[in-house]
């Protein structure tokens, strides 16, 4: 019964996670916390995306290939990984590359296989349309129990341009969601896609480009 209540609460809370483009400040702008202190800025040198994050979060090492970085909030067993990737896989878009829906289905399969190997059963929430830095994005959400039997929540948000894509992976203990989500929402409002994220969706019909 406790697990069902947690899952129901997650659905209601995540539905309020707004990433509206009109809430995104200009690149280089300062976001202030309630006590007036400025947040730190991370900019990825390879893909050019940037985000601001609280001073008390730890900045991890660059991900392999310089594709991104992992941020560690002060809450134990939580992280936010930011990454970029090339959109080179063939698909049904007008450019012959993956559409956002195709990429979403592919990511879901990869996640399912990964946790199956870990012998961890995951419970999927309903996929959701959202935005990231003003670009159309998808959100995948699921829960599971880790090897310490803690209830965990993961949220994967990603956008896809003609040449490149961007992704955000959020992981936290399910019972710390109320504590962390307001800060994460503000962090994502500061997210800038960078220099190469194509503003035109790969789903645009031929002749409309």
| Confidence (pLDDT) at 36 | 43
Rounded to an integer, the average pLDDT of 38-52 is 92
| Residue % of the chain over a pLDDT of 70 | 75
* Opening angle at CA 76, ends 84 and 29, nearest 5: 45
State the fold for domain 2-18+44-189.
Protein Transport Mog1p; Chain A (3.40.1000)
d(CA 54, CA 117): 34
Beta bridge pairs of residue 58: 72
Residue with tokens 């409309």: 208
Sign of CA dihedral 136, 171, 109, 125: negative
Mean pLDDT of the chain: 80
Domain boundaries defined on the chain? 2-18+44-189
Of the candidate ranges 84-88, 130-134, 148-152, 183-187, the one whose mean pLDDT is the lowest: 84-88
Beta bridge pairs of residue 82: 69, 168
| Confidence (pLDDT) at 129 | 96
d(CA 83, CA 165): 9
| Confidence (pLDDT) at 127 | 94
Rounded to an integer, the average pLDDT of 24-43 is 59
Residue with tokens 């993956």: 98
| Residue % of the chain over a pLDDT of 90 | 59
| Confidence (pLDDT) at 201 | 41
Rounded to an integer, the average pLDDT of 169-198 is 90
The predicted-structure confidence for 141-177, as pLDDT tens digits, reads as follows 999 999 889 999 999 999 988 788 999 999 999 999 9
**Residue with more model confidence, 91 or 19:** 91
Of the candidate ranges 15-29, 77-91, 126-140, the one whose mean pLDDT is the lowest: 15-29
| Confidence (pLDDT) at 19 | 40
Of the candidate ranges 10-14, 52-56, 80-84, 118-122, the one whose mean pLDDT is the lowest: 10-14
Residue with tokens 């990433």: 19
For residue 9, pLDDT beyond 80: no
Structure tokens at 12: 């209601």
**Residue with more model confidence, 80 or 31:** 80
| Confidence (pLDDT) at 68 | 96
The predicted-structure confidence for 68-117, as pLDDT tens digits, reads as follows 999 999 999 999 999 998 888 888 887 788 889 999 999 999 999 999 99
d(CA 200, CA 16): 26
């Amino acid at each position: 019964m406790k697990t069902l209540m947690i899952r129901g609460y997650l659905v209601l809370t995540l539905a309020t996670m707004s990433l509206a483009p009109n809430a995104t400040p200009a690149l280089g702008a300062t976001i202030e916390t309630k006590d007036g202190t400025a947040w730190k800025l991370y900019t990825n040198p390879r893909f050019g995306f940037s985000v601001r994050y609280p001073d008390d979060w730890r900045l991890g090492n660059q991900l392999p290939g310089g594709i991104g970085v992992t941020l560690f909030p002060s809450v134990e067993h939580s992280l936010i990984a930011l990454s970029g990737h090339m959109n080179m896989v063939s698909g049904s878009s007008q450019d012959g590359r993956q559409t956002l829906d195709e990429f979403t289905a592919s990511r879901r399969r990869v996640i399912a296989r990964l946790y199956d190997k870990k012998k961890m059963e995951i419970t999927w929430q309903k996929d959701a349309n959202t935005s990231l830095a003003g670009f159309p994005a998808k959100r995948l959400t699921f829960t599971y129990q880790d090897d310490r039997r803690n209830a965990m929540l993961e949220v994967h948000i990603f956008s896809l341009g003609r040449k490149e894509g961007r992704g955000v992976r959020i992981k936290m203990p399910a019972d710390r969601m109320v504590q962390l989500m307001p800060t994460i929402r503000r962090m994502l409002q500061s997210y800038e896609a960078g220099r190469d994220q194509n503003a035109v969706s790969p789903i645009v019909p031929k002749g409309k480009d």
